[in-house]
Chains A and B, each alone.
Chain A
Amino acid sequence: MTTLTKTEDAPAPTGPESFLSVRDLRVQFSTEDGIVKAVDGLSFDVERGKTLGIVGESGSGKSVTNLTILGLHNPRTSHIDGEILLDGKELVTAPEKELEQLRGNKMAMIFQDPLTALSPYYTVGRQLSEPFMKHRGASKKEAKDRAIQMLEKVGIPQPKVRFDDYPHQFSGGMRQRAMIAMALMCDPDLLIADEPTTALDVTVQAQILDLLKDLQQEFGSAIIFITHDLGVISNMADDLLVMYAGRAVERGSVKEVLRTPQHPYTWGLLSSMPRLDGDIHETLSPIPGSPPSLLNPPTGCRFHPRCAFTGEVTGTLCSDTRPPLADGRAAACHLTAQQKQSIFIDKIQPRLR
C-alpha cells in the first residue's frame, strides 16, 4: 500500500522496478471512421533522477502516451489496456479520485504551448497556487509564498509583482517558465514535458532546457521529455525511446541511439535533420512516404511500407511479423545485427557526416 501523502525527506524507495514503468500499453480511440490504435504495445521505464526522451513524428503516439499516464484521455472515447506503474501503484485501473490526488502532486505535466495552456481568465499566481492548496491543504497565504518562491526559482524577475499578472502580460518564455513553476509547485517525482520548447525561440529554448536540468538536479525528479527535436534531446535526455506509429522502434541511451542507430526509421530521422555546419547545397534526405493512418496501420513492421531495406530481409517477414523489441539497447527490426551495422556504416553514416 502506497501512501499518497509525500514525505519529503524520506529516501527514494530502492526497489528492483523503476519509478515509472509502462508495460504493453495500448490506447485505442473510437472515432466515426473506426478505431484508432494510437498506442500499440508500448513498454518503457523511467528511473528517478533520469530523463527519458521520446522522439517521433507527429501522430506517433508520444503525447497520447503521456496524457494516458496522467489519466487525461477522454474516458468516453478511449480504451486503455496494459499497465502503468508509478512507484508501484497501478494507474490504468485507478479510480479518478486517486488520479486527481496524484496529478499535479506526484506527477505533473508541462505543456507545449504556454499561451493556450494557461487560462487567460485568472492570474498566474492564482493558477500556481491552486494545486498547492489542493494537494498540501495549504492556506492561500502559504500557497502564495510558495508560488512566489517557485516563480523566483524559474527566473521570473519581480515575482511578487508578477504573481498578480495575467498570462497575457507575460512574454512567451516567461509563460513557459510560469508553466514549469506550476508543474513544480508540489515537487512532483515525475515530470512530463511535452515539447516544452517548441513554441519558443532558440535562445529562450536553451534557457528553459538549462532550467529544467537544474531543477531536476535539485529535486531529483524523473523526467519524460517529448520532442521531435533531436538536437534538444541529445542535450537533455539520458535514455531515448524512438516511436513510430504508436510503437517503440528503438531504445537505448541517448549516446548509443544517436551515434549508432540501428533502426531504419531512426536512420531516416537523423538523415532528415539539417546540420548547422552542413553544406548549403547538400539536400536533406527525408523519409519517403508519409506516416501511416492509425485507423488501418500496416501489418507486420509498421515502418515497412516506407523502409528502404526490406529487400535485405528474407521472405515476407517485414510485412507479416511484428519485430520484437528487446529490453535494454534494442531496435525492433528484422535486419540482423550484422546487417544493421554494415548498412549503417556503409550507407547511413556518410550521409550524417
Chain B
Amino acid sequence: MLQFIIRRLAGAVVTLFLIGAVTFFLFVAAPSDYASLACGRDCSPERLDAIRHALGLNEPIFKQFWEFMSGIVVGRDFPDGHCAAPCLGQSFYSGDFVWDTIMDRFPLTLSLTVGAMTVFLIVGIGAGMLAAYRRGSLVDKIATGSSMVLSSFQIYFLGPIVLTILVYSTGWMEDPKYVPFTEDPVGWLVGLSIPMVVMATIFTAQYTRMARASMIEQLAEEHVRTARAKGMSKKFVFFRYAWRGSLIPIVTVLGIDISALLGGGVVTELTFSLQGIGRLAVDGAINKDLPLTMGVMLFGAFFILLLNILVDIVYAWIDPRVRLS
C-alpha cells in the first residue's frame, strides 16, 4: 500500500510538471504578451523593453520556464524581496506574489467546499439511500421528484432567487461575505450560509439521484440475494452488502467534485460577489498574467491529482479485489 502511494505521488509530481509546461508554453505561444498590453497604446520601444526587462520576459523562454518551476521547490529572489517556496512567481498585474494571493483567497473556497460538502454528503446520500430502501414509496417519489427538479437548476439561477428573497426584498440576511472561521465561527457560518446552501442544494439533488440509482443496482446483485437467502434481514443486507458496493460510483464522482470545488467555482463566486480561487483564474487569463495563471492552474491540478490518489486509496479500502492487484 505504501509503495502504491509513493508511486502515485511520484507520478503526480511528473504530471504537475507536465501541466505546468503545457500551460506555460501555450501561454507564451498565444498571440499577445503582457508587456505590450501594460505599455499601452503609445508605447516606445525603450519603454517596452524596460517593462520586459522588469518582468524577466527578455530572458530565453526555457530559462523563464525553468526559473518558474524551480521557484516552486526552492523559492526565488525578486527585486522587491524573496519569494519563499512554494513560490509561484510574482503577478505581472498586481506585483503580489501569486502564492500569497492564492493563500489569501483559498480560505473562502475551502469554506464553501467544506460547508456545501457536509450538507450534500449527509443529506444527498442519506436521501438517496432512504429512497432506494423504500423504493416505490411516497418518500421515494418525493426524493426522486424533487431531486430531478433541483438537479436541473444552476447556481446562477437559484442563487439570485435566494438572494432576492432573503437579502434584497426582505432584508432578513446580509449579502454573503467571508469572515475567517478562526475569528468568528458563527459569523463565518452566517456570512457564507446562502452560497453554501445554494451549492449544497444542487449537489444534494445530484447525490440523491446517484446514491439511489447505485443502491438499487447493488440490491439487484446476486450476492445481495444470497445474503437474503441466508436469512439476513433486509436492513442488514442493505447496510452490509449493498451499501459497500454502492459507494464506488459515489466516491468516484465525489473525488471529481471536491477537486473541482477546491480549484475554485467561478460561477458561484460571481453569483455571490465573493473573492475565491475561481475569480483569480479568470483574472489571470483576462489580464494575460502568466504567473497568476500558472499558479492557479497548478494549484487546481494539485487537488485533482491529490483527490485521485485519495479516491484510489478509498477504492482499495472498499473492494479487496483492488487491494491485491
A70, A102, A134, A168: the one contacting B321 at CB < 8 Å is: A168
Contact A72 B319 (CB under 8 A): no
B135:A121 contact, CB within 8 angstroms: no
A127 to B320, CA, bound (A): 14
Residues of A within 8 A of B318 (CB): 121
Given contacts A121-B245, A166-B320, contact A116 B231 (CB under 8 A): no
Given A72-B228, A76-B136, A100-B233 contact (CB < 8 Å): yes
| Cβ contact within 8 Å between A121 and B230 | no
Most buried by A among B229, B233, B319, B320: B229
Q: Which residue of A lies closest to B240 (CB)?
A: A122
Q: Is the CB of A121 within 8 A of B231?
A: no
Binary interface profile of B, 223-247, with partner A (CB < 8 Å = 1, else 0)?
A: 1111111111110000011001100
Interchain nearest-CB distance for A115 vs B (Å):
9
A119 touches B241 (CB 8 A): yes
Chain B's closest residue to A168 (CB) is: B321
- B229 with A70: CB separation less than 8 A: yes
Q: B221 near A: Cβ within 8 Å?
A: yes
> Does any Cβ of A come within 8 Å of B80's Cβ?
no
CB atoms of A105 and B321 under 8 A apart: no
List chain B residues, Cβ under 8 A from A231: none
Interface flag for A111 (CB, 8 Å):
yes
Chain A: minimal CB distance from B24 (Å): 45
Contact pattern, B 284-325, Cβ under 8 Å of A = 1, otherwise 0 = 000000000000000000000000000000000011110010
B-side contacts of A168, CB under 8 Å? 320-321
Tell me the nearest residue of chain A to B220, going by C-beta: A74
Cα A96 to Cα B234 with chains together (Å): 9
Q: How far is the CB of A168 from chain B (nearest CB, A)?
A: 5
Which A residues are in CB contact (< 8 Å) with B234?
A: 96
When chains A and B are docked, how far (Å) is the Cα of A169 from the Cα of B227? Answer: 20
Quick check: is A103 within 8 A (CB to CB) of the other chain? yes
Known: A111-B222, A119-B226, A121-B244. A130 touches B232 (CB 8 A): yes
Q: A119-B241, A166-B321 are in contact. Are A104 and B230 (CB under 8 A)?
A: yes
Minimum Cβ distance to chain A for residue B292 (Å) = 46
Looking at the complex, which one of A96, A103, A121 makes contact with B229 (CB distance below 8 Å)? A103
Give chain B's interface residue range (CB within 8 Å of chain A).
Answer: 20 to 34
A105 to B172, CA, bound (A): 61
A121 touches B241 (CB 8 A): yes
Complex Cα spacing A76 to B136, Å: 8
Q: How many A-B residue pairs have CB under 8 A?
A: 77
Instruction: Please tell me if the beta carbons of A182 and B230 are within 8 angstroms of each other in the complex.
Output: yes
Per the CB 8 Å criterion, the residue count for chain A at the interface is: 31
Q: In whole angstroms, how far apart are the Cα atoms of A116 and B224 in the complex?
A: 9
CA A103 – CA B227 in complex, angstroms?
Answer: 10
Q: Most chain-A CB neighbours within 10 Å: which of B135, B136, B222, B224?
A: B222
Shortest C-beta distance, B70 to chain A (Å), equals: 46
Q: Which residues of A contact B225 (CB under 8 A)?
A: 72, 111, 117
Within 8 A of B (CB), among A126-142: 127, 130-131, 134-135
**Complex Cα gap A103–B236 (Å):** 14
Taking CB atoms, residues of chain B closer than 8 Å to A100 are: 231-233
List, in ascending order, chain A residues with CB within 8 A of B230's CB.
103-104, 108, 127, 130-131, 134, 182
Nearest Cβ distance between residue A118 and chain B, in whole angstroms?
6
**Set A101, A111, A113, A166: member contacting B231, Cβ < 8 A:** A101
B319 proximity list for chain A (CB < 8 A): 120-121
Q: Is the CB of A116 within 8 A of B233?
A: no
A109 on the B face (CB < 8 A)? yes
Shortest beta-carbon distance, B291 to chain A, in Å? Answer: 47
Which of B's residues lie within 8 Å of A, judged by CB? 135-136, 221-234, 240-241, 244-245, 318-321, 324
The 9 closest A-B pairs by CB, nearest first: A104-B231, A104-B230, A103-B231, A119-B223, A131-B230, A116-B222, A109-B229, A166-B320, A117-B226
Binding site for B on A (CB under 8 A): 70, 72, 76, 96, 100-105, 108-109, 111, 113, 116-122, 127, 130-131, 134-135, 166, 168-169, 179, 182
- Could you list 13 further interchain pairs (A-B, Cβ under 8 angstroms) beyond the known A103-B230, A111-B229, A131-B232? A103-B229, A113-B222, A117-B226, A119-B224, A120-B245, A120-B319, A121-B244, A121-B319, A122-B240, A122-B241, A130-B230, A134-B232, A168-B321
